[in-house]
């Protein structure tokens, strides 16, 4: 069953958020940004992509759902990192 989205578009849909996470990670390491700020920024980026994918109808709803679930996990990790930076895993 074909829904009008080619395989290369699916790869792009996956690569854009991964590239965003990687770029935020590299910038935060180079600028010595605290872990909780980095995690909050990554979570906001995931929410942005998730909403964009839902609104633009370019991806399956499951792709957007996974990004939103990742954002929740990143917010949780940011909270833990802010409360006790020594125990932060990221």
Q: Rounded to an integer, what is the distance from CA 25 to the centroid of its chain?
A: 11
Q: Are 67 and 17 in contact (CB under 8 A)?
A: yes
Q: Who wins on pLDDT, 83 or 57?
A: 83
Q: Is residue 71 part of a domain?
A: yes
Domain that holds residue 79: 32-85
Q: Is residue 27 part of a domain?
A: no
Q: Is residue 76 part of a domain?
A: yes
Q: Is residue 11 part of a domain?
A: no
Q: Is residue 90 part of a domain?
A: no
Q: Is residue 8 part of a domain?
A: no
Q: Determine the Cα–Cα distance for residues 33 and 18; give it in Å rounded to an integer.
A: 20
Q: Are 45 and 70 in contact (CB under 8 A)?
A: no
Q: Residue 84, SS3?
A: coil
Q: Is residue 17 part of a domain?
A: no
Q: Are 90 and 77 in contact (CB under 8 A)?
A: yes
Domain count, the chain: 1
pLDDT digits (tens, 9 = 90+) for 8-29: 777 888 899 999 999 999 999 9
pLDDT digits (tens, 9 = 90+) for 37-71: 999 999 999 999 999 888 887 667 888 899 999 99
Confidence (pLDDT) at 1: 47
Q: Is residue 7 part of a domain?
A: no
Q: Who wins on pLDDT, 24 or 2?
A: 24
């Amino acid at each position: 069953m074909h829904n009008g989205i080619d395989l290369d578009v699916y790869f792009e849909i996956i690569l854009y958020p991964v590239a965003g996470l990687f770029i935020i990670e590299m910038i935060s390491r180079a600028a010595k940004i605290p872990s909780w700020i980095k995690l909050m920024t990554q979570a906001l980026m995931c929410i942005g992509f998730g909403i964009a994918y839902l609104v633009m109808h370019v991806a399956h709803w499951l792709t957007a759902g996974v990004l939103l679930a990742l954002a929740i996990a990143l917010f949780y990790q940011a909270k833990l990192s802010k409360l006790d930076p020594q125990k932060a895993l990221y």
